[in-house]
Amino acid sequence: MARILLFLTLLLLPGIAAAQDASPDGPPVASNDIKSLSEDQLFARLAAVDGPSPQAKRLEAEILRRFHRSGSETADLLFGRALEAMNAQEHALCLDLLDEVILLEPDFAEAWNKRATVYFLKRDYGNSLADIRKTLALEPRHFGALAGLGMILETLGRDEEALRALQRALDLNPQLESVRESVESLEKKLSGRAI
């Protein structure tokens, strides 16, 4: 159960914070200024943060906000309904809606990621892994998908691969404390095997 909660925490991360704080590279950056940054700049600043901070939360939230836009109003509307169905634990409806979103916008990485989440919740790890791989093919820096990949690989007993995926997620987003804890736990487990 703790693993499912970790997965959901990573994939259904909170919305955008509105306050102002110091950026990792110097002067304070307001939320409006964050919106003007390119995705490459957002990821660079997020990776430069050493652990949790209000600024890192805002950077993460802006990245996630962008992840949730498909470029199609119709797909975005269906995607919103899919998220409502997911939150209501209506998995069949959620999958149907996400299938439609993917048909409309096959390059919308977050639709693949959310469908992977639903498959994970149904313990359908094969389909979840397939959709995570598609998510990462479309958006290699998707730290939530990498964290999900790590969790599934660990569940399947593929600890070395799991550790690599979780470390990559943490490299992209150092403030993911639950991922950091999983990395530490796996490192201890794997070092114990070497003895």
- Give residue 193's pLDDT: 67
Structural domain that includes position 88: 70-123
Tell me the C-alpha to C-alpha distance, in Å, between residue 100 and each of 7, 28, 75, 83, 169: 24, 41, 8, 13, 28
If asked whether residues 28 and 54 sit together in one domain, one would say yes
Read off the DSSP letter of residue 25: T
Question: Over the chain (195 residues), what is each successive 10-residue block's mean pLDDT?
Answer: 46 35 43 86 92 88 96 97 97 98 98 97 96 98 97 95 97 93 94 67
- Give residue 3's pLDDT: 53
CB 109 within 8 A of CB 142: yes
Q: How far apart are CA 149 and CA 117, in angstroms?
A: 10
- Give residue 21's pLDDT: 35
Q: Is residue 99 part of a domain?
A: yes
If asked whether residues 117 and 93 sit together in one domain, one would say yes
If asked whether residues 45 and 87 sit together in one domain, one would say no
Number of folded domains that form the chain: 2
- Give residue 192's pLDDT: 80
Q: Is residue 28 part of a domain?
A: yes
If asked whether residues 75 and 55 sit together in one domain, one would say no
CB 61 within 8 A of CB 16: yes
If asked whether residues 26 and 58 sit together in one domain, one would say yes
If asked whether residues 119 and 94 sit together in one domain, one would say yes
